[in-house]
Structure 1
Amino acid sequence: MSAPFPSRVAINETLVQNLVREQFPQWSSLPVRAVAEGGNDHRVFRMGEALIVRVPAGVDYIPQVRKEQEWLPKLAPQVPQPIPSVVGCGRPSELLPAPWSIYKWIEGRRPDPARLSGDVHAAIDLAVFLASLRRADATDGPAPGLHSAYRGAPVTQWDDQVRSRFPLLDARERDRAAALWRIATSTSDDEAPVWLHGDVAINNLLVDHQGSLSAIIDFGCSAVGDPSCDTVIYWTQFRGPAQRAFRSTLELDDATWARGAGWALWKSLIMLTNTAPGQSAFARRVLNEVLELDQ
């Protein structure tokens, strides 16, 4: 790398405009503005009306850029919903010692959490997408690792983190969590590795003006491995008939669902100590779901 990596704050509209002017002069006259919900791993900027610029927020996320640039064009024809489309691959330079990307803007908005929780059609559409992604050609695809935040790797990797947080729970919660974790970590994925999204969360879904699922975005945590982590939205967002529709359409075996419950438990325990507004309460709701505390 030819220059220090800039701080997250320094990755701003001015830097992006300079990068575009340097490497894509055909778009240099377009206005650039930051997208508020750009995510943690990357900063996102809208450029004009038809494009977005996605810049890694740190050196740890550089492999995600290269992965998306290589694999998104190959995955797009194999899935039923739109995914990000790369139209420009930025190269490292003195301005930014890392690759970066320009994508087509995808129309849509984040789903309303209250509506999504009971939306059977959205649950089915998402499950169909994930099942199609599992069937996509995984030849030479990236194995789980730091680039995927270890999504797709065995859930047992989080054993110490999960067990160290059991004291945060009361006796009933702790017993159920320990039993769930034993089951989750005693199963293994004996199938061939498959494509997984890695971060199936409400912030990475887009819906159209009618509320129908219109796109799945942010494949930074994607990998070829165990798809159990892609089930977590079953506990975090869906409820009732939508949950049942998602599970039946996804067509995974009980062992995969058991490992998925382990991922959901890990996620909720990590978030219990998150001081961001609403995160602890959200974690409690997920715990209630995954541990079936209301039953």
Structure 2
Amino acid sequence: MHDAEFAVDDALALALIAESFPELAGRELRRIRTPGTVNSIVRVGDDLVARFPLLPASRSDLAAEAAAMAALAEACPFPAPRPYGVADARDSYPSAWSLQSWLPGRTAHFDMHAASTSLAQDLAVLITSLRVIDPGGSGFDGRGRGGALPDHDEWIAECVDRSAHLLDASAATRMWAALRQLPRSGSDVMSHRDLTPFNLLVDAQDGETRLTGVLDGGGFGPADSALDLVAAWHLFDTPTRQVLRAGVGAEDVEWLRGAAWAFQQAMGLVWYYEESNPPMSALGLSTLRRLLADDELSSLA
């Protein structure tokens, strides 16, 4: 998926685990195929999973992710993985890597739960539960999404250009021009910061889809209060989005900024992963279709 990304075969994974965590040597390994774009995922025994970065990562970065993951697991009203340990880079694998607890379940899908009011209600519980956590005087750290929308102008322009064969580039340009101007609607709050379907575990309970787990908590931290609202656009049709909107209590500007962050994220998925990760590209296209078809957003552009 990325230029010069690292490969980890089973023999190398076994060796790395035995060297850095000898108490786990000899455990059965099972490779997990996911649409993820950051790590190779290998299950270690029944209760752990190793995450081997596809691109170089430092020990300090992964230690910070582990701390954020632990904080999310402590605060989250749904199950979330907990860190087990971080390993140093080696000559055989030139990146730090990590182990965390295994959480069973199946990930959500962008076109399977569009009308699930139960899932929308659960996500509202998740988002509001994270928001009330005291950020301890910290604010957005400047990495990725969650700060100022206009900071992403250059990236959006590149994405529109590279995606012109996949979507209505003129409509996308007009929508971003309207969304990027939306003012902040409050101070930073604690956020998951990557609420895509692939980071949500779901299950059918009494005929309804329920949220059963939250993955990839390494980015947990302060951000624009609208950022976690991207889940509404990644997952739901128009009526069901309103269930999440009401559950969170999002006012108009905050709701529209949530659409702006969903737009920014989706535009980067469409073309970048068109060939290398079709499920991720398909998520981006699905989200953009929902955004471009929304009457409230269309009235802005």
TM-score by length of 1: 0.82
Shift of 1:30: 0.5
Q: 1:159 to 1:106 in 2, by over 3 A?
A: same
Determine which of 181, 193, 198 is the counterpart of 2:193.
198
**What secondary structure does 2:239 align onto?**
helix
Match for 1:44: what amino acid?
I
Distance 1:145-1:13 versus aligned 2 partners, 3 A rule = farther
Gaps of 5+ in 1: 1-5
The question of whether the paired residues in 1 share the 8 Å contact of 2:56 and 2:96 is answered with: no
> Match for residue 145 of structure 2?
151
Compared with structure 1, are the counterparts of its residues 278 and 77 closer, same or farther at alpha carbon in structure 2 (3 Å cutoff)? closer
Q: Would you say 1:292 and 2:290 are equivalent positions?
A: no
Aligned residue runs from structure 1 range 176-215, under 5 A? 177-178=173-174, 180-189=175-184, 191-208=186-203, 210=205, 211-215=209-213
Match of 1:3 in 2: none
Deviates more, 1:94-103 or 1:11-20: 94-103
Partners of 1:44 and 1:62 lie apart in 2 by 18
Distance, in Å, in 2 between the alignment partners of 1:58 and 1:73 is: 23
Is 1:99 the counterpart of 2:96? The answer is: yes
Q: Which stretches in structure 2 are left out of the alignment for 5+ residues?
A: none
Match of 2:170 among 171, 174, 177: 174
What is the count of residue pairs matched by the alignment? Answer: 284
- AA aligned opposite 1:191: G
- The Cα shift of 1:285 comes to 4.1
Query: Pick from 132, 135, 138: which aligns with 2:132?
Result: 135
| Alpha-carbon offset, residue 246 of structure 1 | 1.0
Q: Deviations over 1:58-88 (max 9, x none)?
A: 1257665222211222232222011111122
Matched-pair identity in %: 25
Structure 1 residue 268: deviation in Å? 4.0
Give the equivalent residue in structure 2 for 1:256: 254
Q: Residues of 2 paired with 1:284 and 1:112: CA distance?
A: 13
C-alpha displacement of 1:165: 5.8
Distance, in Å, in 2 between the alignment partners of 1:259 and 1:157 is 14
Q: Secondary structure in 2 aligned to 1:264?
A: helix
1:189 Cα deviation from its structure 2 partner:
2.6
Q: How much is the aligned-residue C-alpha RMSD, in angstroms?
A: 3.1
Aligned: 1:28 with 2:28: no
Among 240, 259, 277, the alignment partner of 1:242 is: 240
CA drift of 1:273 comes to 3.5
Contact conserved, 1:271 with 1:279, CA < 8 A, in 2? yes
Q: Spell out, residue by residue over 1:137-160, the C-alpha distance to the aligned partner (whole angstroms, 9 max, x if none).
A: 3226573344xxx12121211212
| Further displaced range: 99-108 or 137-146 | 137-146
- TM-score, length-normalised on structure 2? 0.80
